[in-house]
């Protein structure tokens, strides 16, 4: 994989949240490198409440990490 993450520092909480989403997406990409398989699986998990809640939890965890790295934008 190519290097795409230079820093966890962001200017705003909004940018931090977007970075948290990107971190979550990259986690899936690293876990399942086949785009073809990810696209095949997407219809199933995109309509499953438990899968969506789990994805939201991962994003929230990543956002906590980014917020801490940015001193909670103080």
Q: DSSP of 26-69, one letter per residue?
A: HHHHHHS--HHHHHHHHHHHTT-HHHHHHHHHHHHHHHHHHHHH
pTM to 2 decimal places = 0.91
Instruction: Tell whether the model's pLDDT for residue 35 goes beyond 90.
Output: yes
Q: Tokens representing 37?
A: 């398989």
What CA–CA distance (Å, rounded) separates 32 from 44?
Answer: 15
- Which tens digit of pLDDT belongs to each residue from 49-65? 999 999 999 999 999 99
Q: Chain-centre distance of CA 22, in angstroms?
A: 4
């Amino acid at each position: 994989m190519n290097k795409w993450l230079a820093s966890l520092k962001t200017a705003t909480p909004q940018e931090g949240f977007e970075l948290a989403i990107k971190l979550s997406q990259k986690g899936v990409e690293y876990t399942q490198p086949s785009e073809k398989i990810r696209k095949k699986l997407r219809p199933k998990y995109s309509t499953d409440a438990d899968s969506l809640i789990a994805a939201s939890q991962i994003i929230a965890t990543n956002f906590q990490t980014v917020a801490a790295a940015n001193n909670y934008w103080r």
